Structure 1
């Protein structure tokens, strides 16, 4: 397990008298390597340098790979100044092992508690201390659709319910199009599942299953229907779906070969790169009515432990620059996400971002993605069940029992 690996490495370093670098360079590890991501992260680096910071860029393709490098560097005594993680429990073990600096004074001075959503605060704030600075809010359950494909299939208006979504998928399939653009990878199937849980079960069932891990809710008829509709989505994907990357699935929607994709709002970068505009060539649906929760996820930077005064100064400056309104607008317009604060001027944002920011004003719709409430082990175990359920003839009742067992693991 990650916690055991970190503890073992930390003890080994301590016994060897290892210390964090005496004069480390201000290095930032992140995984934003696509053209749109690189442009977005440059807005942070430029604002940070303009404020007096120093930034040595280390971009590593792939979130898992970048996190692994960051963790290995931290426990190996060669920590960067800052490292990207998601706003989930991914860095909890590092906090527990005392390997991160907090930025309490920045958070308190700038009033993070006043504008950060509770699911974000509950991740970055551990035992009263702030160990990460959130960069953005992504929502992974957006429904993207091609206006050209809808027109070809005779769909006059966008779906406003789960029933209307399936009706649209039926029409797309009948028109000879790929109804649902999908990449058959476990994390993408997890997105489809969470989307169906959110849209069908609302905030109540969603939180009972993921946050409370309530066996009665998991074994309920309502949750069984969620699983059945999740599996029903498989009948609308094409034979080329297994192993397909998410952006390749988005390209099918962009070209009009596919009608619908369920994916996070990072997909907007692909539409933008193809010079397509929301409301013109494509549409975006954040949910079906006021009961649909907004599934909050995003990115954050953590600050590895160091006693170097200059490095600590850089860390605190970066934390302050990232949450500044001007940086938030500049970064998120390019990234496809929305700002982590609602007190910024949204007039220059695209229609999808404006819709997301409007929903975020309703705190009752704020919920985290599964990884906000689950340990990496729990989330991995549940994802294994979902992938097996998606790819086999496993009965929904068996999937319910396996998910209940997977989420019984101690945190």
Structure 2
């Protein structure tokens, strides 16, 4: 009996010892994102499934709302308990984390995968800091899109997409007269800023846009372009419903999906909601660039990798970086999310016409970066506040608004 007990104790000890050894061999990753809508969750699941297929253990820590997810992430960093990976917009928003030594570089993975050869230079430059790669790109989004209900357009006899702002406002008037909500508006400051930017691009062009945001130019042409932008933005107020303030972007998309509203200004991630709802591009809905747009405002997502002591999580970071940049995963992710792949060497045949157009514009260099890519987080936040304040104050004229806009860069 004693020998039996001794064997049981020894056996249990060996079994217990074997568990952590086995667990340490497993790559694991707690992944924090703001991807919680139908299309976003389906896209994230593409990465999750491949991560698990390769032996990784996945823990999802998604939080609705980019701002809420960012705040939760920073709280975790301060508490010394970061997740293994965080969804991050590429560009300057990550510079402070890198300078403070809070992120792990993934340079070895990037070099092994020859990322510099398969990514556009403009993208590759924004995932690297001080000569080292820190971010693993997932997909690029165009932010100059207007999504519209084919059924709503048919009801007002509109068979062609408006080519100018004048034609566009005529269409909105017809929608309003037909009892259809013209614009499904997401009344949150970040959404309003994206509409401001897509209009600005139509008024000042690609070079003018970059002069304003990169060079901080305050010349007459720049000031006049901002004034015209604010005039158009202000004119849109008359086509927005009373329930718009605070509305989430995907809730606004749902109003277009059901045909209760005519159009929505939104990044191409909105397309993922149409896909998740079983709607077909060209049949149920359409997408067009903002009227008179010479190109496209873009933003790009990635994963960043906080410094973390756990060995299994470090392995998970490596695996996730590789999975996110896998060519097949990039395409499958984009099909679900409505984005375009970051890699230039992927099979583009499965992408829809909107994605193909986005890739064409990117390839031709007819793109400008979202403010989050090129402004400091403080300046980007000030821009959101400025646009929200202007939108909420119909009495303010565009000249006064333009002065406040350029004050952001002082």
Name the CA shift for 1:45/1:273 in 2 (closer, same or farther; >3 Å): closer
- Give the equivalent residue in structure 2 for 1:151: 154
- Give the equivalent residue in structure 2 for 1:334: 336
Residue 135 of structure 1, CA deviation: 0.7
Alpha-carbon distance in 2 for matches of 1:201, 1:163: 17
- Give the equivalent residue in structure 1 for 2:325: 323
Alpha-carbon distance in 2 for matches of 1:70, 1:218: 40
Q: 1:229-261: per-residue Cα shift (whole Å, max 9, x none)?
A: 121111221222222222222222122221111
Query: Does 2:401 align with 1:378?
Result: no
Alpha-carbon distance in 2 for matches of 1:219, 1:354: 31
Residue 301 of structure 1, CA deviation: 0.8
1:190-209 superposed matches below 5 A? 190-209=193-212
Alpha-carbon distance in 2 for matches of 1:390, 1:61: 24
Q: How many residues align?
A: 384
Alpha-carbon distance in 2 for matches of 1:217, 1:339: 38
Query: Does 2:304 align with 1:302?
Result: yes
Residue 310 of structure 1, CA deviation: 4.6
Is the Cα contact below 8 Å between 2:28 and 2:312 reproduced in 1?
Answer: no
Residue 218 of structure 1, CA deviation: 7.4
Q: 1:282-304: per-residue Cα shift (whole Å, max 9, x none)?
A: 11013557x62222213211111
Alpha-carbon distance in 1 for matches of 2:33, 2:186: 24
Greater shift in the superposed pair: 167-176 or 388-397: 167-176
1:324-363 superposed matches below 5 A? 324-363=326-365
- Give the equivalent residue in structure 2 for 1:45: 48
Residue 66 of structure 1, CA deviation: 2.0
Name the CA shift for 1:404/1:306 in 2 (closer, same or farther; >3 Å): same
Name the CA shift for 1:243/1:28 in 2 (closer, same or farther; >3 Å): closer
Aligned pair partner of 2:124 in 112, 118, 121: 121
Query: Does 2:108 align with 1:105?
Result: yes
Is the Cα contact below 8 Å between 1:90 and 1:376 reproduced in 2?
Answer: yes
Query: Does 2:78 align with 1:75?
Result: yes
Q: With the length of structure 2 as denominator, give the TM-score of the two structures.
A: 0.87
Aligned pair partner of 2:257 in 251, 254, 257: 254
Aligned pair partner of 1:293 in 277, 287, 295: 295
Query: Does 2:398 align with 1:390?
Result: no
- Give the equivalent residue in structure 1 for 2:224: 221
Q: Which runs of 5+ in 1 are unaligned?
A: 1-22
Name the CA shift for 1:334/1:25 in 2 (closer, same or farther; >3 Å): closer
Larger radius of gyration: 2
Alpha-carbon distance in 2 for matches of 1:352, 1:187: 23
Residue 217 of structure 1, CA deviation: 5.6
- Give the equivalent residue in structure 2 for 1:8: none
Alpha-carbon distance in 2 for matches of 1:74, 1:257: 43
Is the Cα contact below 8 Å between 2:28 and 2:56 reproduced in 1?
Answer: no
- Give the equivalent residue in structure 1 for 2:90: 87
Q: Which runs of 5+ in 2 are unaligned?
A: 1-23
Find the residue that maps to 2:363 and give its secondary structure. coil
Residue 108 of structure 1, CA deviation: 2.1
Q: 1:16-70: per-residue Cα shift (whole Å, max 9, x none)?
A: xxxxxxx896322222223332222121122123234332222222222222222
Find the residue that maps to 1:299 and give its secondary structure. strand
Name the CA shift for 1:34/1:239 in 2 (closer, same or farther; >3 Å): closer
Query: Does 2:409 align with 1:403?
Result: no
Find the residue that maps to 1:93 and give its secondary structure. helix
Residue 305 of structure 1, CA deviation: 1.6
Q: With the length of structure 1 as denominator, give the TM-score of the two structures.
A: 0.87
- Give the equivalent residue in structure 2 for 1:34: 37
Is the Cα contact below 8 Å between 1:88 and 1:297 reproduced in 2?
Answer: no
Find the residue that maps to 1:226 and give its secondary structure. helix
Name the CA shift for 1:215/1:346 in 2 (closer, same or farther; >3 Å): same
- Give the equivalent residue in structure 2 for 1:264: 267
Greater shift in the superposed pair: 32-41 or 184-193: 32-41
Alpha-carbon distance in 1 for matches of 2:361, 2:290: 10
Find the residue that maps to 2:237 and give its secondary structure. helix
